[in-house]
Amino acid sequence: MSTTITVIPGDGIGPEVTAATLDILKAAGAELEYDTQHAGVGALETHLTPLPDETLDSLRRNRVSLKGPLTTPVGTGFRSINVAIRKEFDLYANVRPALSLVPGGRYENVDLVLIRENTEGLYVGVEHYIGVGNDPRAAAESVMIITRFGAERAVRYAFDFARKNKRRKVTLAHKANILKYTQGLFLEAGREVARDYPEIQFEDRIIDATAMALVMNPWEFDVLVMENMFGDILSDLMAGLVGGLGFTPAGNIGLNAAMFEAVHGSAPDIAGKGVANPSALLLAGCMLLDHVGQPEVADRIRASLKTVVLDRTEATRDMGGSATTREFTQAVIRGLDAAG
Ligand code: NAD
């Protein structure tokens, strides 16, 4: 049975990589219907708001979405729509796979998944200045919020993910040696959850040591879970291990909704030129297919994508080639037959 999903093409290169992704999903036989909606700077121009009610209604209705990158004005203007959507739908687990695909990346055979708690920590944005004497901004304070509820559900998601995907180990990275209350609570909650999954190896590590170990020997790890800001930083580090943001998708998962996206932004420098690499959004589309129960279609797309990337004849500019988005897309579509 076909699943209807909300599609938000987004800003900058968003519409180009979204069109490429939908072409490939269609050619691969994905049973999806698309409810296309606007958000971001484009929506501000057409709907006078960066997050129109129609878009929110569609997300509420369909519960599963594929989202292109959205431009966020720096310093002024509206706040991040990505963050607003995550909050509105309580998308508490950010799933960031890092899989070696591109030859010439720093490491071969890396296959890691980081689960980042997506709603708490320092990113709740509880911060303010403290005035001293004549200086109203002499100091600044930010509050890290960790709840047992938030920590437990993120760690549980990591273990459920490990179980479902036959992963062997979960590493919880933290800084409980210094931040004994907040990070300590995250660790305590994690240790409790781990007891329910005796077949999966569990370890905890200090975040800074984890960063070094990831660079020295990434194969030591499998699934990693951590609070919001640590996850934000280490997930980009992990993208760097496997060839950069051009190939990095993300899932934002809640109890009743899920949003899949590329990790990269709207790339205004190449927008409209037809040279963007659609791989990250395509891989996000594959995560979406896994999520809605069409993993065989996802596997075929991943196999074809891998062949095209390894072959290098149709490499896009960021991969060191000169193929256009369209040429790359057509190559992936042609490769689907060989992929089964
Ligand atoms: P960016 O990821 O858009 O671009 C960084 C560099 O990578 C640029 O040189 C760009 O050309 C290149 N690049 C990115 N994606 C590419 C692709 N698919 N193919 C080829 N090259 C690619 O980061 P930025 O310039 O810092 O951000 C631009 C805008 O995107 C900002 O407004 C930012 O807020 C927004 N952003 C949105 C998201 C999101 O919606 N999830 C994520 C990150 C940034």
Query: If pLDDT is split at 50, 70 and 90, which confidence band does 77 have?
Result: low
pLDDT of residue 130: 97
Pocket test for ligand 1, best of 86, 266, 282, 314 (most atoms within 8 A of CB): 266
Query: If pLDDT is split at 50, 70 and 90, which confidence band does 338 have?
Result: confident
Question: CA-to-CA distance for 278 and 258, rounded, in angstroms?
Answer: 20
The Cβ of residue 91 has, within 10 Å, a number of other Cβ atoms equal to 21
273 belongs to the catalytic site: no
Q: Is the pLDDT of residue 18 over 70?
A: yes
What value does the mean pLDDT take over residues 288-312? 94
236 belongs to the catalytic site: no
57 belongs to the catalytic site: no
Question: CA-to-CA distance for 236 and 69, rounded, in angstroms?
Answer: 16
Question: CA-to-CA distance for 325 and 314, rounded, in angstroms?
Answer: 9
Query: If pLDDT is split at 50, 70 and 90, which confidence band does 301 have?
Result: very high
Q: Give counts: helices (H), strands (E), the chain.
A: 11, 12
At 205-261, the pLDDT tens digits run: 999 999 999 999 999 999 999 999 999 999 999 998 987 788 899 999 999 999 999
- CA distances 146 to 46, 119, 211, 232, Å, are 39, 9, 22, 16
Question: CA-to-CA distance for 33 and 20, rounded, in angstroms?
Answer: 16
pLDDT of residue 125: 83
At 39-67, the pLDDT tens digits run: 998 898 899 889 999 999 999 999 999 99
Query: If pLDDT is split at 50, 70 and 90, which confidence band does 143 have?
Result: very high
* Residue % of the chain over a pLDDT of 70: 96
R_g over Cα of the chain: 20
Q: Is the pLDDT of residue 75 over 70?
A: no
What value does the mean pLDDT take over residues 23-51? 94
DSSP of 240-273, one letter per residue?
HHTT-GGG-EEEEE-SS-EEEEESS---TTTTTT
At 114-133, the pLDDT tens digits run: 999 999 999 888 999 999 99
- In one-letter notation, the amino acid at residue 80 is S
Q: What six digits make up the tokens of 263?
A: 């990790």
Q: Which residue's CA is the closest to the ligand 1 atom numbered 37?
A: 265
Q: Catalytic one among 67, 157, 175, 290?
A: 175
> What number does the ligand 1 atom closest to the CA of 262 have?
41
